Amino acid sequence: MNVLVIEDDRKISSLLERGLSEHGHRVSIAGNGREGAEMMVGGGYDVALLDILLPGIDGLAVLERVRAKRCKTAIMMLTAVDTVPKVLEAFDLGADDYLVKPFLLEILLARLTAIARRGQSPAPPLLQVGDLILDRSRRSVRRNGRSIHMTRKQFDLLELLMRRSGLVATREDLVEAAWGYLADVKDNTLDVYVHGLRSKLELQSYQQQITIRTVHGTGYMLVTE
């Protein structure tokens, strides 16, 4: 499954990322509530693991915001405080499940399997940014109705960039999306692939400008101008 982890504790999010990746899931990380809400509404995730205690916008506010926008992603709340009122409020706002910290990875994986079995929130097959459309089911990309040939890795990189449109996708996340969690990929290898992808998106014949902007020292960001 495509899993979004919204957690401000980097140690916890890293452990979740590693554990879920080793069991075959694709993982994206958001470090605060605002970023997590934007990523979730952007689509493409089967399930989100949402911490309640987040800086700025807390997990309950994120939950309320994304459900108001009719986001169908299954949401499992992560909480360090097992209080009945908080849990009931989360369910009232549209949570699908909750888990109390600390928890065993095996329990989390079992809960994810149960969510997948219920089939409550299939990932949308299409991602769209402006006139750029990515079809996950056909693994095809189109702009203005015209097909753009993509290699497998270019497709995987573009999918992540489109999910985080307007937000930075880190180099680490991009490498993981295209090569896998344990891959040892040189920096210039990623740069070469992104350069090729950028060239395919920036043809002069397109009326709308969509480009991949370099965020030095961090990663890349898909933007419309």
Give whole-number Cα distances, 207 to 19, 184, 197, 210, 221, in Å: 43, 38, 18, 9, 20
For position 205, what pLDDT does the model report?
Answer: 58
Contact (Cβ atoms closer than 8 angstroms) between residue 65 and residue 6: no
Residue percentage of the chain with pLDDT more than 70: 91
Helices (H) and strands (E) in the chain, counts: 8, 12
Who contacts 131 (Cβ-Cβ below 8 Å, separation ≥6)? 143, 144, 206, 207, 208, 210
- Which residues have C-beta within 8 Å of that of residue 89, sequence separation ≥ 6? 60
pLDDT in tens, 117-148: 665 445 567 899 988 999 987 889 998 888 99
Kindly state the average pLDDT of the residues 5-22: 91
Domain with CATH 3.40.50.2300 in the chain: 2-118
pLDDT of residue 121: 47
The CATH 1.10.10.10 domain(s) of the chain lie at: 126-224
How high does pLDDT run on average in the chain? 85
Give the residue, 10 or 84, on which the prediction is more confident.
10
- Mean per-residue pLDDT, 189-211: 84
Q: Which fold has domain 126-224?
A: Arc Repressor Mutant, subunit A (1.10.10)
Q: What is the pLDDT of residue 82?
A: 61
CB under 8 Å, gap of 24 or more: what pairs does 71-74 form?
71/40, 71/41, 71/43, 72/120, 72/121, 73/4, 73/40, 73/43, 73/45, 73/46, 73/47, 73/48, 73/121, 74/46, 74/47, 74/48, 74/115, 74/120, 74/121
Q: Which CATH superfamily is domain 2-118 in?
A: Response regulator (3.40.50.2300)
Q: What is the token pair recorded at 203?
A: 């043809």
Judged by average pLDDT, the poorest of 18-22, 119-123, 164-168 is 119-123
| pLDDT higher than 80, residue 86 | no
**Residue reference for tokens 């459309």:** 133
Please state, in angstroms and rounded to a whole number, the distance separating the CA atoms of residues 208 and 224: 7
Q: Which of 151, 22, 4 is nearest to 74 (CA)?
A: 4
**What is the DSSP annotation of 184-206?**
---HHHHHHHHHHHHHHH--TT-
Residue range 170-186, pLDDT digits in tens? 888 888 888 875 567 77
Tens-digit pLDDT profile for residues 23-59 = 888 899 999 999 999 999 887 788 999 999 898 899 9
The reported pLDDT for the residue numbered 204 is 53
Assess whether pLDDT exceeds 90 at residue 187.
no
Fill in the DSSP letter of residue 143.
Answer: E
Phi, psi dihedrals of residue 73, rounded to the nearest 5°:
-55, 130
Write out the H or E segment, with its range, that includes residue 42.
Answer: helix 33-42
